[in-house]
Each structure stands twice: as structure tokens, then as C-alpha cells.
């Protein structure tokens, strides 16, 4: 991609120049952690709004502990780099930002040392819809299980764990589904391939417990707060059985990439009347307005970056 400025090995370079060595530990063994952050461009405001930037950077810095990576950048420095990168690229459309902290040792052997050499990389791309189906998804329960916390912790957002995601999502798509729901080893609902899941039953929201091998999503937290504050709907956070999926009134996925995406059928069983449910629709509308800076009440979740022509 021409003229796409990213951050690599301590400086801003063109994305075409940002290449890791094939002996890099993270490339060979998946020993990296990452974040996905969305930026929403509001043409009326001529402003890019980064959604819950601080929370994403905090999660990145927490998760490096799991892989015993080290990082020389502070939270504020990472945020500043992201803001500079977005301003330099000055795109007038929605974007996705991908920071990674990766084990940059060039050595054979998967073992993690005490002070693993780590690097920070951050790139951004224009990013629209995550799914090609825009109205809702047809999903299956995957025959692959979500990686257990004692195998590769899903809450760590560890690159190597996404081979599990790739198997589950890839097989669902090869069988004609849009995505999948993964279960824990004990057969309870964990999450979508790279999204958290909510069920609606009798006008209540239910989402899987943080101890069921999920990534503790920032969008999940956003949905819980929006539903409570704006719709007076509480969320129950608990272990969910597979058959509860088939009997739910509504189901939706949520995540930075997926945003709020209705699920219309699971294992070829219709959810509700196979149309986008009313609570799902309300949450979807609230979420999109919030991300675009159209609900002032939640503006503290947004980091605004004015388009260049606006900066005096």
C-alpha cells in the first residue's frame, strides 16, 4: 500500500518497509500480543474518533505480562504514537489500527527467557464492514473448542491462539456458514470466532462469563453499559449451555471488528423469527451513534483527531 505510514522499530516508516526477519521468534512461534482498535470518521465533524483507545492500550500493556514480554514504551507514549500515525495518514474514512508487541529474538527454540527482547509495531488500514453479510449471520457451533486458559489464555490476545480462531472460522466458512460459536472443553458457550456473544431471552441480556475462555471484550463492556444506561436492561454474565442458543429470542456478536452483528440462525435453527431482533437493533443503533460522536454522553470513550485541513 503506497503512502501508508506505520510505526516499526522505533520510527515511522512506510508500511512497505516494515518487514520482520523470518527468524523472528514471534513469526516462528506466535509469541506476540496485539490489539485491534477502530477509528470512525465523521465527515460532518471532519474528525476521526478513535474508540476507547486508552482501554485498548491498557489491555495491550497488561497482556504483555502473560507472555513475559518487555516494553520500553509507556501507555502515554503508545497513545501519542497512535495519534501521530493517524494524523500523518489523515484518512477520511473508517480505519482499523493494529498495535502488536512481539518477541523479536532471533533464536531457535520456543522457550521464553526472563527478559525477552520485544518490539512494538503499529499499523492502520482503511476498514469498513467486517462481514460481507450486512443484515445478520448464519453460524454453526464449531467442532473446534476454544483454547483453554491453561493452554493459551484467550484473554491474552496472543497471536498464536488465533490459529484456533482460524480453524474454527475457516471450517465454518468452508461449510457455507458466515461464522461460528466456539464452546469450552466442558461444552459451554465461549464466544464467536473473534467476537463476544450476547443472547436475549425474555428481554434480558445474557453473555458468557469471563471464566469461560473468552477475551474480555471492550465492546462487550460497552454493550453492558449502553444497555443499562440507555435502555435500562441488565446483563447477566454466566455460563451458557449450547441448547440455550437454539432457544434464544435474539443473539448478537460484538467486537471491535464485528461491531454489533445479529446472528439469525445457529446450526440451521432459526433464532426468533430469523430477523434482526428489536433489542439487538436498539443496541446496534446506540453503538454506532456512540462511536461516531453522536451521543455526547459517551464522548469520554472517544479520542477525536481533527482532519488536517481543520488543524490551525
Which spans of this chain sit near ligand PMP (rule: CB under 6 A)?
Answer: 36, 154, 191, 194-196, 215, 217-220, 255-256
Comparing CB distances to ligand PMP, the nearer of 89 and 259 is 259
How far apart, in whole angstroms, are the C-alpha atoms of residue 181 and residue 264?
A: 13
Which helix H or strand E contains 280, and what residues bound it? helix 278-291
**Percentage helix, strand, coil, to 5, in the chain?**
30, 30, 35
Cβ-based neighbours of 262, under 8 Å, separated by 6 or more: 135, 136, 137, 250, 251, 252, 276, 277, 280, 284
C-alpha cell of 169?
472460522
CB of 154 to ligand PMP, least distance (A): 6
| In the complex, minimum distance from the CB of residue 16 to ligand PMP, in angstroms, rounded to a whole number | 26
- Shorter beta-carbon distance to ligand PMP: residue 105 or 219: 219
Among this protein's residues, is 275 annotated catalytic? no
Q: Which residues pair with 253 in a beta bridge?
A: 197, 261
Closer residue to ligand PMP (CB): 43 or 166: 166
Q: At closest approach, how far in Å is the CB of 13 from ligand PMP?
A: 26
Report in angstroms how near the CB of residue 26 gets to ligand PMP at its nearest: 17
> Residue 7 or 287: which CB sits closer to ligand PMP?
287
Q: Where are the beta strands (DSSP E) in 30-74?
A: 32-34, 37-42, 47-51
In this structure, the number of other CB atoms found within 10 A of the CB of residue 284 comes to: 18
Q: Which is nearer to ligand PMP, 196 or 207 (CB)?
A: 196
Considering the candidates 44, 107, 157, 297, report the single residue annotated as catalytic: 157
Query: Least distance (Å) from ligand PMP to the CB of residue 49?
Result: 16
Instruction: Answer whether 86's CB lies under 8 Å from 48's CB.
Output: yes
Helices (H), 94-241: 162-174, 218-231
Cell of 111: 522457550
Active site residues: 157
Amino acid at each position: 500500500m503506497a503512502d501508508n505510514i506505520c510505526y516499526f522499530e522505533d520510527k515511522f516508516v512506510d508500511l512497505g518497509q516494515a518487514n520482520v526477519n523470518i527468524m523472528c521468534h514471534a513469526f516462528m512461534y506466535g509469541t506476540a500480543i496485539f490489539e485491534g482498535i477502530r477509528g470512525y470518521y465523521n465527515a460532518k465533524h471532519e474528525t476521526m474518533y478513535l474508540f476507547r483507545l486508552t482501554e485498548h492500550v491498557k489491555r495491550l500493556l497488561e497482556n504483555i505480562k502473560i507472555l513475559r514480554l518487555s516494553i520500553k514504551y509507556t501507555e502515554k507514549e503508545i497513545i501519542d504514537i497512535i495519534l501521530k500515525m493517524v494524523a500523518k495518514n489523515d484518512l477520511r474514512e473508517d480505519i482499523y489500527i493494529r498495535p502488536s508487541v512481539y518477541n523479536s529474538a532471533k533464536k531457535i527454540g520456543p522457550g521464553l527467557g526472563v527478559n525477552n527482547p520485544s518490539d512494538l509495531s503499529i499499523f492502520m488500514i482503511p476498514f469498513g464492514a467486517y462481514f460481507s453479510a450486512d443484515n445478520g449471520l448464519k453460524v454453526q457451533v464449531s467442532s473446534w473448542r476454544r483454547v483453554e486458559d491453561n493452554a493459551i489464555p484467550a484473554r491474552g490476545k496472543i497471536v498464536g491462539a488465533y490459529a484456533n480462531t482460524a480453524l474454527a472460522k475457516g471450517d465454518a466458512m468452508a461449510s457455507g456458514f458466515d461464522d461460528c460459536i466456539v464452546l469450552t472443553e466442558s461444552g459451554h458457550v465461549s464466544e464467536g470466532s473473534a467476537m463476544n456473544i450476547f443472547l436475549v431471552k425474555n428481554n434480558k441480556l445474557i453473555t458468557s462469563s469471563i471464566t469461560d475462555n473468552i477475551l474480555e471484550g471492550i465492546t462487550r463492556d460497552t454493550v453492558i453499559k449502553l444497555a443499562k444506561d440507555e435502555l435500562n436492561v441488565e446483563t447477566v454474565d454466566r455460563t451458557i449451555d449450547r441448547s440455550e442458543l437454539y432457544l434464544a429470542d435474539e443473539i448478537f456478536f460484538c467486537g471491535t471488528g464485528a461491531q454489533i452483528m445479529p446472528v439469525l440462525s445457529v446450526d440451521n435453527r432459526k433464532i426468533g423469527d430469523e430477523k434482526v431482533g428489536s433489542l439487538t437493533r436498539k443496541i446496534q443503533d446506540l453503538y454506532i451513534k456512540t462511536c461516531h460522536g453522536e451521543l455526547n454522553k459517551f464522548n469520554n470513550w472517544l479520542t477525536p483527531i481533527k482532519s488536517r485541513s481543520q488543524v490551525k
